[in-house]
Amino acid sequence: MNLSNNKGAVLIAAYMAMFVLVTLASSVALFNFTELNDARRHQDMTAAFWLAEAGINQFLADPAMLDGLDGTGAKTIEEGNGIIAIVKDDSNRRHRIVTSTGTVGGSQRRIQIKYPALSTIFESTMSTKGNILIEGRKSSLMINDKLRLGGNLVNMAMYPIVFVEDQKEGVDDALVTITYPDLDGNGIPDEFADFIAFYRDLIASYPEDEVVYIQGDDTYTITPGEALEGKKIIYIEGGREGEGNAIIQFTGALKKGQSLTVIATGTVMHNQAGLAQKDSQLNIIAWSDYFETTALPSVHNGLIYTHGTAYFDEMHDTSVTNGSVVANEGIVIREVWSTKTFNYKDMRKRGVVPPGFEGLVGGGISGYTPRPSSWREI
Instruction: Look at 267 and 30; give whichever has higher pLDDT.
Output: 267
Looking at 159-246, list the stretches that DSSP marks H as alpha helix, in order from N- to C-terminal side. 192-204
Q: Average pLDDT in the 204-217 region?
A: 96
Determine contact, residues 127/331, Cβ cutoff 8 Å: no
Q: What is the pLDDT of residue 72?
A: 65
Q: pLDDT band at residue 277, thresholds of 50, 70 and 90? A: confident
Q: pLDDT band at residue 20, thresholds of 50, 70 and 90? A: low
368-265-124 Cα angle (round to 5): 35
Residue 339's H or E segment, with its range, is: strand 336-344
Helix, strand counts (H, E) of the chain? 2, 24
Lowest mean pLDDT among 15-24, 27-36, 279-288, 304-313: 27-36
Residue 4 has pLDDT above 60, yes or no: no
Instruction: Look at 203 and 370; give whichever has higher pLDDT.
Output: 203
Distance separating alpha carbons of residues 48 and 229, to the nearest angstrom: 42
Determine contact, residues 306/327, Cβ cutoff 8 Å: yes
- E strands, 196-289, where? 211-215, 219-222, 233-237, 245-250, 259-264, 268-272, 281-286
Q: What is the pLDDT of residue 373?
A: 83
The DSSP bridge pattern shows strands 330-333 and 132-134 to be: parallel
Q: Whose CA is closest to 311, among 295, 322, 325, 298?
A: 325
Residue 155's H or E segment, with its range, is: strand 153-155
Residues 6+ apart with CB under 8 A from 238: 215, 216, 217, 244, 245, 264, 265, 266
pLDDT tens per residue, range 163-175: 999 999 999 988 8
Residue 66 has pLDDT above 70, yes or no: yes
Q: What is the pLDDT of residue 304?
A: 97
Distance separating alpha carbons of residues 178 and 180, to the nearest angstrom: 7
CA-only gyration radius of the chain, Å:
32
Q: What is the pLDDT of residue 34?
A: 66
Q: Whose CA is closest to 354, among 233, 184, 211, 270?
A: 233
Q: What is the pLDDT of residue 30?
A: 66
| Phi and psi angles of residue 263, each rounded to the nearest 5 degrees, phi first | -120, 135
Determine contact, residues 185/161, Cβ cutoff 8 Å: no
In whole numbers, what is the pLDDT of the chain averaged over residues? 89
Which domains does the chain possess? Answer: 2-105 (3.30.1300), 119-368 (no CATH)
Determine contact, residues 362/339, Cβ cutoff 8 Å: no
Q: Whose CA is closest to 310, among 83, 127, 161?
A: 127
Residue 375 has pLDDT above 50, yes or no: yes
Residue 80 has pLDDT above 90, yes or no: no
